[in-house]
């Protein structure tokens, strides 16, 4: 018996064909997922950018006061804190003022008996600047009794300084008698004190820390105010002390004091303050004082 070998033919040889394999085609699903992935990456980039920007904005709120406000003297050449006169604002009022640090004190002139309610605060400029007595007092039912004016403070030697405070008078019915008050206020950003320091300025990206001082007292009906105004006498002692503390901090090269501050939340507008009005109490004076 003979064996017949079957020849092995190479592909392409006559009479034989090789099946042509079909190449895989990219389906619409794969293209869709690719586009979706690109869109997600782009969106995540945008979100990350917004988060970074928000973080930078919030960091601008963390500028700390150059020195602890509570270390300011409790006595100034005859001015002395009354017993129980070192207090703090309630949390809601603190949020409204925009303050990240503050002190609220009641000083009395030991010679004349005149009593002053004093608010000193530090916080980011944008929420602090809008709160002025011209806004806060009328929103609480007070009416203006005199046109507000700008006063240049005098030093203890009587010489005029570049520091300016706005002063005004307000009155409100207190039942049997009218409540009459005079108030001074000003801000310090990066130079002399001025009540109009924020005029025409916006702080969309940088929100520097700013000082605010507000001092007020009860006045009698018909009381005449002149250059012997007790508030100006007090400010002539307080403002140089604040400036000295700031200069010492700058000379030390530093470094705000190590107290962590929390970014203040959204601050209500003046119109929304409604009945809040003068919200820090001056019990010794018998009236509520404006957190302006």
pLDDT of residue 273: 35
Task: Using the CB atoms, write b or e for 179-211: b if 16+ within 10 Å.
Answer: bbbbbbbbbbbeebbbbebbeeeebeeebebbb
Specify the number of domains making up the chain.
1
CB 127 within 8 A of CB 264: yes
pLDDT of residue 165: 97
pLDDT of residue 277: 38
Q: Is residue 150 part of a domain?
A: yes
Q: State the residue for tokens 């105010």.
A: 225
Q: Is residue 87 part of a domain?
A: yes
Q: Is residue 156 part of a domain?
A: yes
- Predicted model pTM: 0.69
Q: Is residue 204 part of a domain?
A: yes
* DSSP secondary structure string for all residues of the chain: -PPPPPPPPPTT-TT-----PPPP---HHHHHHHHHHHHHHHHHHHHHHHHHHHHHHHHHTTPPPSS-GGGS-SEETTEEEEEEEEE---HHHHHHHT-SEEEEEEEEETTT--EEEEEEEEEEHHHHTT--HHHHHHHTT-EE-S--EEEEEE-TTS-EEEEEEEEEEEEEE-SSSEEEEEEEEEEESSSS-BTTTTTT---SS---EEEEEEEEEE--TT----TT-HHHHHHHHHHHHHHHHHHHHHHTT----S---PPP-PPPPHHHHGGG-S-EEETTTTEEE---
Per-residue model confidence as pLDDT tens for the chain (292 residues): 444 444 444 444 444 455 555 555 555 665 566 666 666 666 556 555 554 554 455 444 556 899 999 999 999 989 999 999 999 999 998 888 889 999 999 999 999 999 999 999 999 998 899 999 999 999 889 999 999 999 999 988 888 899 999 999 999 998 888 899 999 999 999 889 999 988 777 775 677 899 999 999 999 888 877 778 999 999 999 999 999 999 998 888 754 444 433 444 444 433 333 333 354 433 333 334 445 5
Q: State the residue for tokens 């928000």.
A: 54
Using CB atoms within 10 A of its CB, is residue 62 exposed (0-12), middle (13-18) or buried (19+)?
A: middle
Q: Is residue 9 part of a domain?
A: no
Please give the Cα distance from 68 to 62 (Å, whole number): 15
- Residue 148 lies in domain: 61-289
Q: Is residue 79 part of a domain?
A: yes
Q: Is residue 28 part of a domain?
A: no
Q: Is residue 284 part of a domain?
A: yes
Please give the Cα distance from 284 to 261 (Å, whole number): 31
């Amino acid at each position: 018996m003979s064996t017949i070998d079957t020849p092995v033919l190479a592909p392409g040889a006559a009479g034989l064909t090789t099946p042509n394999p079909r190449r895989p085609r990219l389906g619409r699903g794969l293209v869709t997922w690719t586009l979706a992935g690109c869109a997600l990456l782009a969106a995540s980039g945008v979100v990350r950018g917004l988060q970074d920007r928000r973080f930078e904005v919030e960091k601008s709120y963390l500028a700390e006061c150059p020195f602890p406000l509570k270390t300011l003297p409790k006595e100034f050449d005859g001015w002395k804190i009354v017993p129980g006169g070192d207090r703090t604002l309630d949390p809601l009022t603190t949020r409204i003022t925009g303050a990240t640090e503050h002190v609220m004190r009641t000083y009395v002139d030991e010679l004349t008996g005149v009593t002053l309610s004093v608010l000193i605060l530090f916080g980011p400029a944008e929420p602090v600047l809008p709160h002025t007595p011209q806004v806060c007092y009328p929103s609480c039912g007070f009416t203006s009794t005199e046109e507000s004016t700008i006063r240049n403070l005098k030093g203890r030697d009587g010489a005029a300084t570049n520091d300016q405070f706005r002063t005004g008078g307000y009155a409100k019915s207190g039942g049997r008698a009218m409540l009459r008050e005079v108030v001074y206020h000003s801000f310090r950003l990066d130079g002399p004190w001025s009540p109009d320091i924020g005029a025409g300025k916006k702080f969309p990206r940088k929100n520097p820390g700013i000082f605010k001082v507000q001092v007020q007292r009860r006045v009698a009906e018909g009381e005449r105010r002149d250059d012997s105004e007790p508030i100006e006498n007090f400010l002539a002692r307080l403002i140089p002390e604040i400036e000295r503390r700031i200069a010492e901090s700058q000379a030390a090269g530093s470094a705000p004091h190590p107290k962590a501050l929390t970014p203040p939340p959204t601050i209500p507008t003046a119109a929304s303050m409604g009945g809040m009005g003068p919200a820090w109490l001056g019990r010794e004076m018998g009236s509520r004082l404006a957190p302006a």
